Amino acid sequence: MDSNALALFVDIVDAGNLSAAARHLKVTRANISYHLNQLEKSVGLQLMRRTTRRVALTEAGEALYRHGRVIRDEVLAARESASTLGKGLHGSVRLSLPTGFGHMVMSGWLIDFKRQYPGISLEVLFDNRVDDLLREEIDVVVRVMTEPPPHMVATELTQVRYMVCASVDHAREHAMPTEPEALAHVPLITSAVTGRELRVSAYQDALRREVTLHPTLASENFQFLREAILAGLGVGLVPDYVMADDVAQGLAVTALNEWRLSIFGTRMFLLRMPNRYQTLATRTLIDFITGKVRAWAG
C-alpha cells in the first residue's frame, strides 16, 4: 500500500469532502479522486461513499483511517525530528485570538514568545468567530464562550469576569446603576454582535436576572471602548481586564459589584481541531499560552 495514498486518504477524511481536501492540498479535485480510486483498488474495498458535500466512511474505511492517522502522524513526527537536529525550534503556527483579550493582554505574551523562539513563524488573527477553523487551517484558537464546540478539542484556561464601570466624571454627574435592569436605561458602552440581540445575565446567590441591552456605543475593539468609557460617554459593561488598571488608579468607578455578569460567556478555552497533527512548534505555543494565562489568572 502506498503510504502517500494512505496519507491522502486521511487528509480527505479530515477535510470532510474531496473538494475541501483539494483546496487544502492545492491540487485538483480530479487528482484527489484519482488517487482515492487507486487506493480503493489496491485494498480491494470501498473506503468511502461520496456525495457532493461530504464523505461517509465504510467499515473498512473507518479501520483504515484509524491506522492511517497513526502512520501519518508518526511520519510527520519523524520528519520534524530529523529536520530539527542541530537546529533551533522552527515551524509555523496560525493562531486566532479574541479581539479584546488578544489585543489587550496576549499581545505582549506573543512578543515574549517570539523572542524565545525566533525560528517559529506566527500568523496571528484577531477574531471572535469559531466557525470555519478547518477551512482556514488555523492551528490554535482562544475564545470566550459558555461551552466549547463539541467537534473541537477544548482546554479551559480561565474564567472571564465582567464589570460595570464609568469614568469618575460621568459617575459624579449621572446616577450609576444599582440593579441589573438599570443597564437597559443608561448610555451603555459594550461589545455587540451584528444581527444578534444583546442580553446580559446577572447572578447573585440564587437570583438570576436577564436584561436586554441597547448600547449607545458598541464595538469589538476593546481599546476603543476603554477610551470611550474614560471620556465619560456612558457606562461600560466590559471584561474586567479592560478597565482594571483604570479603576485601580482612580480614573473609573464600578457598580453592581455584588452581581456576577455574563454576556458572551464567562469561560475562556483554547481550541484545536481533533484530527490535525500538532507540530512541535504548535505544542510549544500551546504550552506557552496555557502557562501564561494561568499565571495571569492567579
Burial of 85 (0-12, 13-18, 19+ CB in 10 A): exposed
Contact of 119 with 87, CB cutoff 8 Å: yes
Q: Within 13 Å of residue 217, how many CA atoms lie on the same side as its CB?
A: 20
Q: Cα(first)–Cα(last) distance of the chain, in Å?
A: 52
- C-alpha 144/C-alpha 265 separation (Å) is 6
What pLDDT was estimated at residue 48? 84
What does the block give as the cell for 281?
512548534
Contacts of 127 (CB under 8 A, 6+ apart): 96, 97, 98, 99
What pLDDT was estimated at residue 83? 64
What pLDDT was estimated at residue 136? 63
What pLDDT was estimated at residue 39? 84
- C-alpha 57/C-alpha 47 separation (Å) is 6
What does the block give as the cell for 136?
482556514
What pLDDT was estimated at residue 207? 92
One pLDDT digit (tens) per residue for the chain, 298 residues: 667 778 888 888 877 788 888 887 888 888 888 888 888 888 888 888 876 667 788 888 888 888 777 777 777 667 766 666 656 678 889 999 998 999 999 999 999 999 999 999 999 999 887 765 555 678 899 998 888 888 888 999 999 999 999 999 999 999 999 999 999 999 999 997 766 789 999 999 889 999 999 999 999 899 999 999 999 999 999 999 999 999 999 999 999 999 999 988 889 999 988 777 778 889 999 999 999 999 998 7
SS (H, E, C) 16-79: CCHHHHHHHHCCCHHHHHHHHHHHHHHHCCCCEEECCCCEEECHHHHHHHHHHHHHHHHHHHHH
